[in-house]
Amino acid sequence: MIRKNDLILLLVIFSSMGVGIAFPEQTRMLQPYPLYLMMFQLFFSFIKIEFAEVFRSIGKNASFLFILSLTKLLVVPTLLFFLTEAIWPKYALPVLLLSGISTGVVAPFVADLLDASMIPVLMMVVVSSLLVPFSLPALVSLLAGRTMEISFLSMVKILAMVIFTPAVCVIVMRRLMPSFLEKLERVQFPISMVLFALINIGVFSKYSSFFRENPIELAGTLFVAFSLSAVYHVVGFLVAWGRKKEERLAGAVSFSYLNAILLIAFASQFFGPLSSVLAAAYMLPFFVMIVPARLAGNLIK
């Protein structure tokens, strides 16, 4: 059953997307900030996490994490590249890039919305972010015969800034002002909606001209983006088959809530506009699919 919060989420997503596309000049000041806004989003996700439990879980979940990482970063991108090359060749490389990018930093927040296990998702964010500077350039070179560079040091720097800074803030505040964190947790949803809106406006205002001037191309790109999101959800769920429901949902979240913002930032430097546009278009299913994913999760036992 669709809840009031689901309707609010959908309203925020579509209205903020419309604002970004309709008023690119007035909202362009938000374009540099989606990554920083995600830091605040992750801060709110971390309020509910006990980090001691995360460290205890690393050893217990090592094999599960290895299977998730291998499938997410190598198997799925390779299969989807060949499938897309056979069906719609011009999207083969953009699909490879999007499929091979790391789990996004907003994924733990989505895991909380879907009642998925947050700890495997958080570990996938860290592990996939550390591995993708090696795995994705290798896949691009091997499968597409193209060259790209993702600086490992730059990735570590981004990882430290976006993940570890909010984590340290939560740890310090939990020790010094726990009551304040409890108050923040009570207002997590409305603040998250504001952050989602600002992220969406920042992304869609940047590609406003493409979305308005190329409706047919946009329709095709959105079709690819939604199809990929559905595939990622299903494959991630199936990879965790046989485990607890919360862990199967964690697999779906880890595969489908990707670091599209990072891909937008570097894809245009190496591969032209289509790869960046697909990554930007993926922001729509990124948020919209939360609602059907939650409804589907409620039907799973």
Q: How confident is the model at residue 72 (pLDDT cuts 50, 70, 90)?
A: very high
- 44 neighbors 183 (Cβ within 8 angstroms): no
Q: Which one has a higher pLDDT value, 173 or 51? A: 173
pLDDT of 155 reads 67
pLDDT of 81 reads 96
- 124 neighbors 254 (Cβ within 8 angstroms): yes
pLDDT of 263 reads 79
Name which CATH class applies to 9-20+32-292.
mainly alpha
- 230 pLDDT above the threshold of 70: yes
pLDDT of 152 reads 66
Q: How confident is the model at residue 269 (pLDDT cuts 50, 70, 90)?
A: low
Render pLDDT for 73-87 as a digit per residue (tens, 0 to 9): 999 999 999 999 999
- 50 pLDDT above the threshold of 80: no
Nearest one of 257, 261, 259, 262 to 288, comparing CA atoms: 257
Query: Is this prediction's pTM over 0.85?
Result: yes
Q: Which one has a higher pLDDT value, 70 or 122? A: 70
- 246 neighbors 66 (Cβ within 8 angstroms): no
Render pLDDT for 123-168 as a digit per residue (tens, 0 to 9): 888 888 888 888 988 898 889 787 666 666 776 777 777 778 888 8
- 108 neighbors 125 (Cβ within 8 angstroms): yes
pLDDT above 70 coverage of the chain, percent:
91
pLDDT of 257 reads 93
In three-state secondary structure terms, 147 is coil
Helix axes 178-186, 188-206, angle to 10 degrees: 60
Cα 249 from Cα 244, distance rounded (Å): 9
- 107 neighbors 89 (Cβ within 8 angstroms): no
